[in-house]
Amino acid sequence: MEVLSSTAQGAIVPLPTTEFRLPPSPAATVKDISNSSTDVESCASSDLEGSVCEAVDELGTEGYRLYPLPPTPKRDNKVLPEDLKTPDNHVERDPRLIRLTGIHPFNVEAPLSDLYDEGFLTTKDLFYVRNHGPVPRVEDFEVLDWQFSIEGMVENPVKLTLRDLLREYEQFTYPITLVCAGNRRKEQNMVRKTKGFSWGAAGVSTALWTGVGLWDLLGRAMPKRGARYVCFEGADRLPNGYYGTSVKLNWAVDANRGILVAHKMNGEALHPDHGKPLRIVIPGQIGGRSVKWLKRIIVTARPSDNWYHIYDNRVLPTMVDPEQSANLPETWEDERYAIYDLNTNSAICYPAHDERVSLVEKGVEMYKFKGYAYAGGGKRVTRMEVTLDKGKTWRLANITYHEDQYRDAPDGETLYGGRVDMSWREACFCWCFWDLDIPLADLADAKDVMVRAMDDSMMVQPRDMYWSVLGMMNNPWFRVVIHKEDSGHSLRFEHPTQPALMPGGWMERVKKEGGNLSNGLWGEKVSGEDDTNTQKEAVAEKEICMTNPKINKDITIDELRKHDGEEHPWFVVNGQVYDGTKFLEAHPGGAASIVGAAGQDATEEFMTIHSENAKAMMPEYHIGSLDEKSKTLLSEPEPAESEKTRPVFLQSKAWNKAIIIQKKQISADTKIFTFKLNHDKQTVGLPIGQHLMMRLRDPATREAIIRAYTPISEGTGRGILHVLVKIYYKTADREGGKMTLALDSLPIGHPVDFKGPVGKFEYLGKGRCTINSKERRVKRFVMVCAGSGITPIFQVLRAVMKDREDETKCVVLDGNRVEEDILCKEELDKMAQGNEEKCKLIYTLSKPSDEWKGLRGRMDQGLFEREVGAPRKGDDTMVLICGPEAMEKSVHRIFNGLGWRDEDLLFF
C-alpha cells in the first residue's frame, strides 16, 4: 500500500507504508468481535468497565496494522477538585485541559502542542469538550437499556435501546474529525467582542467512532413524502429546554456521508463528556450538530425549532452587532445563516507560542513548521501554502492524509467490533497534517509566517476575517509573528492569541498598543495611512478605560487579602486592584456589595451588572495591578465549607447552588419559584429588606446573567427559598427579559446560583433600621410599589406586622394595571385585617374592571398629596419605593415637589 503526500514543490510521491504502521500492543490491538465466540453484549459490557476488548486481530502483512490506532489513554484521571461542587462531580477529567467558561459548564480545549503531539487520533483525555450544561449521569448498569426514539414523519416509529443497536444492526468504525464552530473565536473577540467565549485553535479533535449508520435506522423507520430534515435531541437539560438541532434528510440517508449513532470512542464506551452512552457523530459538519446523550430522532418537514438550533451555530451578517441581534428574531430564524458544513481552515502548531529557536546552533539550518488543516462537507484539503512576505510569494507544504490509510484496509476488516468501511467512500471525514522545512536564514529575514489551505473545490482560506456576532467559523490566514531576540541570535514566535482569558498573542499586544486589528494589515500601520480614515473603516468597539495610567504598582495576593473586610475593601476586576473604601456609602447596592467582593476577583459580577457610567468611574479607585503569580493563585478555588453542614445558605463571597423544585403560576406573567437548599435545617440567611443575587448562564454564550431579587420567604426560613419573579415575555413591541425567560425555561431539578446578601437597607425591628450601616429610627413607613416591586416592601411590612410590640405605622400604596397584577394581595389583606390603625393598604388600578371597588387611575401627585402629604417636622417617616423605572422617576419627582428630602426616600 502507498500513502500519497505532496512535497514542497507540489509533486505527489508515495510514502513507505512502514512509516505509518504501528506494532501490535495491548493498547493498540482489538478483538474482532464478529470472528470470535464473544458476543456483542458481553463486549459492550466489558467496555463499560473502561477496557478495550483486547485480544488477537486480523492484522496487515508482517503483523502490523496498516493504519494508526489511538494513543494509550490515561487511566489515572480523577474527578478534579474544581468539579466537586458542580453537577459534574461524577465526571473524571484530565487536568491539562484549558477551561474556557470558568468552572462550569465544562467547555475546554487541549494545549495546542499537546493536541498535535497525540497525532492523528486524539484520546478522550485531550479531545475538546463543548457542554451547554451539566453532564447527564448514566450509570454503567443503565447503559445497555438506554432508550431513544425515531419519530415524526415516518411510516414506522421506532423505540430502540443500545442493546438493540448492538444485536440487530451492523456496526461501523470510522475515523472522524469533530470541530467546534467556535474554533479560533478568540481572534474575533480580540477585534470586537462577540457573544461567544474564547476558543483558541484547539477546538478540533479526531477519534475512531464505532456505531450504527443513521441511514440504516432511517431505512427502518421509512421517512414519509415531504420530509426534509432530521432533528436530534439530547438528554442534557438546559435553561431553554433540551439541546437539539437538525440536519438535512438527504445527508442523513446518504451512506457516503457516514453519519453514525455512536456508542464507542477509540474502542471504549463513550466518556460522559462525549455523550455516554449514545450520540450522533456527523463527519464534515460543525460539532454542534453531533448531538450527545441522544434521546430522540425526529423526522420533519422543516428545520428544528429547538432554541439551540435557532440561537446558536449561526453566522449572521457581519454588520449585525451584539446589541442589534437581540432585536432581530427573524434574522436568527433565517435558515440561510445556519451553519452545517465546516469551512476550510488551518493552523500552525509548531513553532508553539513563545517558542524560541537559536540561530547560532551548529548544524541546525532548518526549522520544520507543522500544523493541521481541515475542510467541510466531505471535501479534502488539497493544498497548504506558506508565506513569509504577507502573501506576495508562497511555498507549498507537504500534506499527510492519515485517513487514506483506512481506505486501504483489507475487505471485511473490523476494528473495535465495527467494519472499517472506507475504501469506496469519496467523502473526506478527517483533518490532515502538514509540514514544511524553512531555512532559518529565511526566518531571520521575515517578520511573520502565515499559512492558508485550499480544498478540492478550490476554495481557499481568506486573508481577512469575517467578523460575526457569534464569532463562528473564523478562518483567515493563520499568522505567527517572528521576533528577533538576544542581539539577533535567536527567534521567538508569537501566535495570534491564547485561549480563554489566558494573556498573550500578537493580537492582544497590537490592540494594547493602539493598533487597528481591522485594517487588513494585521494591526500594522503603513506609511501615509490616515488614522482617522482607518478607524472609520474599522469596526468600532466602545471600550472604557477602567485604570489610572499614572498607577504602576504590583500588588500581591497577600496584600489583597489583608483588605477583605469592611474597613478598606479591595477587589479585583480584569486583573486590576481597586479600593472601594471611598464608595462604600454612595454605592447604589449598598456597602454589602463591595464588602462581599473584597479580597476576591469580582470581574464577572462587575462587568455583567454595572453600567458604562460605573465603569468610567473606576480609574478613581484604581490602586494597582495584581502580579502574575497572584492572578494564578486567585483563580484557584478555595476549600469551601461543606454544604451539607453549613447552617446558613447565603454567603457574601461565594456562589452556592439551590435546586428548583417547583414553579407556581400566580398571574399571567408571574410565578413563584421554589428552591431547595442544601439541607432541611439550613436557613436562607437574608436580613429583612436586603436582596440576594441570582446567577444563570446565557444558554448560547455561557456568559453570566446576574440579577438581584428579594425573596418572599423569610430570611430565617429553613430548607426552602421562595422567589416571586415577573416573567417578561417576548411581545411584538419588546424583546423578552433575558434573565426571566432563562429562569422560566429551567426544568425542575436544575440548579441555580445564589449569593448575598446585598443592599444598603436593613430593618432591625421596632422602628430601627440601618442605611449603609448607619442606624436610623422610624415611626412611619410610606411604601410605594407596583407589580413585582412589592417583594422588598412585603419583607419589611411582614416584619412590622408580625411583631405586636412594633408600633411603626405603615402606609402601602400599590399601583397596578388590572387587579390580577396585584401580587401577594391575599397575604397583604390578611396582614392589614384588624390592624387598620397600624397598616393602611391603598390599591389603585389604571385599567380596572367594572367590578373593581377600589381607587382608579395611576399613582399621581393628587394621590400622594391626599394619602401622604408634605413631610411633617419630627414625624420620622421614611419612604420606601420599588417598581418600574418610569414609576420610580415619577414618584421621586412628585415627592421632591412635596418637600421630601432625598435622604428620606429609599429606592430598592
Whole-model pTM: value is 0.64
Alpha carbons 68 and 349: distance in angstroms, whole number: 20
Query: What's the pLDDT at 113?
Result: 96
Query: What's the pLDDT at 646?
Result: 84
Letter for the amino acid at 137? R
Alpha carbons 153 and 185: distance in angstroms, whole number: 37
The mean pLDDT value for 12-18 works out to 32
Digit-coded pLDDT (tens) for 143-168: 999 999 999 999 999 999 999 999 99
pLDDT band at 241 (very low <50, low <70, confident <90, very high): confident
Start-to-end C-alpha separation, the chain? 76
Query: What's the pLDDT at 138?
Result: 96
Cβ–Cβ under 8 Å, residues 185 and 343: no
Q: What amino acid positions are annotated as catalytic residues? A: 180, 312-313
Spatial neighbors of 484 by CB under 8 A, at least 6 apart, are 444, 490, 491
Query: What's the pLDDT at 644?
Result: 63
Strongest mean pLDDT among 24-38, 81-95, 375-389: 375-389
Alpha carbons 839 and 832: distance in angstroms, whole number: 6
* 554-635 has CATH 3.10.120.10 classification: yes
Strongest mean pLDDT among 97-106, 272-281, 690-699: 272-281
**What is the DSSP track for 512-562?**
HTT--TTSSSTTPPPTT--HHHHHHHSPP------S-TT---EE-HHHHHT
The mean pLDDT value for 581-605 works out to 68
Which strand ranges, in their side-by-side order, compose the sheet holding 398-400? 12-15, 3-6, 398-400, 432-439, 366-374, 345-350
Letter for the amino acid at 790? I
Q: Under the phi-then-psi rule, with left for phi > 0, alpha for psi from -120 to 50, and beta for the rest, what region is 767?
A: left
- Higher-confidence residue: 116 or 565? 116
- Higher-confidence residue: 702 or 761? 761
Alpha carbons 580 and 595: distance in angstroms, whole number: 8
Digit-coded pLDDT (tens) for 501-518: 899 999 999 988 888 887
pLDDT band at 22 (very low <50, low <70, confident <90, very high): very low
- Higher-confidence residue: 696 or 58? 696
The mean pLDDT value for 6-11 works out to 34
- Higher-confidence residue: 526 or 660? 660
CB atoms within 10 A of CB 301: 13
* 656-758 has CATH 2.40.30.10 classification: yes
With cell 500500500, the residue in question is 1
Q: At 604, give phi and psi (nearest 5°).
A: -60, -50
The mean pLDDT value for 133-145 works out to 95
Give the three-state DSSP class for 729: coil
694: enclosing H helix or E strand: strand 691-697
Strongest mean pLDDT among 103-107, 433-437, 814-818: 433-437
Query: What's the pLDDT at 129?
Result: 98
Query: What's the pLDDT at 121?
Result: 98
The C-alpha cell at 872 is 411633617
Digit-coded pLDDT (tens) for 446-484: 999 999 999 999 999 999 999 999 999 999 999 999 999
Alpha carbons 767 and 809: distance in angstroms, whole number: 9
The mean pLDDT value for 863-876 works out to 86
**pLDDT of 640 strictly over 70:** no
pLDDT band at 642 (very low <50, low <70, confident <90, very high): low
Lowest mean pLDDT among 244-248, 253-257, 452-456, 582-586: 582-586
Digit-coded pLDDT (tens) for 52-75: 333 223 343 334 568 999 999 999
The C-alpha cell at 22 is 504501528
Letter for the amino acid at 622? H
**pLDDT of 128 strictly over 90:** yes
Query: What's the pLDDT at 643?
Result: 58
Angle between helices 825-832 and 790-802 (to 10 degrees): 30
The C-alpha cell at 626 is 495584581
The DSSP bridge pattern shows strands 839-845 and 855-856 to be: parallel
Q: What is the 3-state secondary structure (H, E, C) of 20-42?
A: CCECCCCCCCCCCHHHCCCCHHH
Alpha carbons 295 and 504: distance in angstroms, whole number: 41
Residue 415: which of 174, 123, 125, 127 has the closest Cα?
Answer: 174
With cell 507540489, the residue in question is 10
Do domains 23-337 and 656-758 share one topology? The answer is no
pLDDT band at 434 (very low <50, low <70, confident <90, very high): very high
The DSSP bridge pattern shows strands 761-765 and 768-771 to be: antiparallel
Query: What's the pLDDT at 29?
Result: 32
Query: What's the pLDDT at 74?
Result: 93
Which strand ranges, in their side-by-side order, compose the sheet holding 774-777? 761-765, 768-771, 774-777
Alpha carbons 438 and 271: distance in angstroms, whole number: 40
Query: What's the pLDDT at 218?
Result: 97
The residue extents of the domains of the chain are 23-337, 345-537, 554-635, 656-758, 765-907
Provide the CATH number for the domain formed by 23-337 in this structure: 3.90.420.10
Whether 180 has a binding-site annotation, put simply, is yes
* 345-537 has CATH 2.60.40.650 classification: yes
Number of H helices, E strands in the chain: 23, 46
- Higher-confidence residue: 539 or 566? 566
Average pLDDT score, the chain: 85
The C-alpha cell at 363 is 548544524
Query: What's the pLDDT at 44?
Result: 38
CATH architecture of 765-907: 3-Layer(aba) Sandwich (3.40)
**pLDDT of 656 strictly over 70:** yes
Digit-coded pLDDT (tens) for 502-558: 999 999 999 888 888 877 788 776 544 444 443 433 333 446 788 888 888 888 888
The mean pLDDT value for 591-607 works out to 71
The C-alpha cell at 606 is 462587575
The C-alpha cell at 32 is 474482532
Alpha carbons 867 and 863: distance in angstroms, whole number: 6
The mean pLDDT value for 344-372 works out to 96
Query: What's the pLDDT at 590?
Result: 57
pLDDT band at 612 (very low <50, low <70, confident <90, very high): low
Calculate what percentage of the chain has a pLDDT beyond 90: 53
**pLDDT of 275 strictly over 70:** yes
- Higher-confidence residue: 671 or 558? 671
Query: What's the pLDDT at 907?
Result: 86
pLDDT band at 39 (very low <50, low <70, confident <90, very high): very low
Strongest mean pLDDT among 40-49, 235-244, 280-289: 280-289
Query: What's the pLDDT at 136?
Result: 96
Digit-coded pLDDT (tens) for 286-329: 999 999 999 999 999 999 999 999 999 999 999 998 777 877 88
